[in-house]
């Protein structure tokens, strides 16, 4: 399976670990970044290209991680603000890595 992965600085180390796990399981990994550890990077810069690749069928599945998902009650990115007082629909925090075959 061809799997795209993406993360900001908060998920940088985990992204590399997931990529290795996927490769060792026989999957092709397409890494959308971040490609270097940069505390000032912004999650949408990596996840939007990943989402477009999934939608276009360039990768079969996508995996993403962001430190902001579990560390901050209000996350602000280039997309929108997500928080307890926001009317924006936000995805729930990632609790565990799930793999499918």
Of the pLDDT bands very low, low, confident and very high (cuts 50, 70, 90), residue 27 is: very high
Q: Is pLDDT at 70 greater than 50 in this prediction?
A: no
Helix (H, G, I), strand (E, B) or coil at 18: helix
Summary count for the chain: helices (H), strands (E): 3, 5
Domain boundaries, the chain: 2-82
| pTM for the predicted model, two decimal places | 0.65
**CATH annotation of 2-82:** 3.40.1400.10
Distance between CA atoms of 10 and 28, rounded to whole angstroms?
A: 23
Q: What's the confidence (pLDDT) of residue 22? A: 95
Distance, CA of 74 to chain centre: 18
Beta strands (DSSP E) in the chain are: 2-7, 28-31, 61-65, 75-76, 81-82
């Amino acid at each position: 399976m061809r799997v795209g992965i993406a993360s900001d600085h908060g998920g940088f180390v985990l992204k590399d670990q997931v990529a290795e796990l996927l490769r060792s399981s026989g999957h092709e990994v397409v890494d959308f970044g971040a490609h270097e550890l940069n505390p000032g990077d912004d999650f949408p810069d990596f996840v939007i290209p990943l989402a477009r690749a999934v939608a276009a069928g360039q990768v079969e599945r996508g995996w993403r991680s962001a430190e902001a998902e579990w560390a901050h009650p209000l996350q602000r990115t280039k997309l929108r603000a997500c928080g307890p007082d926001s009317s924006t629909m936000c995805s729930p925090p990632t609790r565990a890595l799930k793999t499918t075959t």
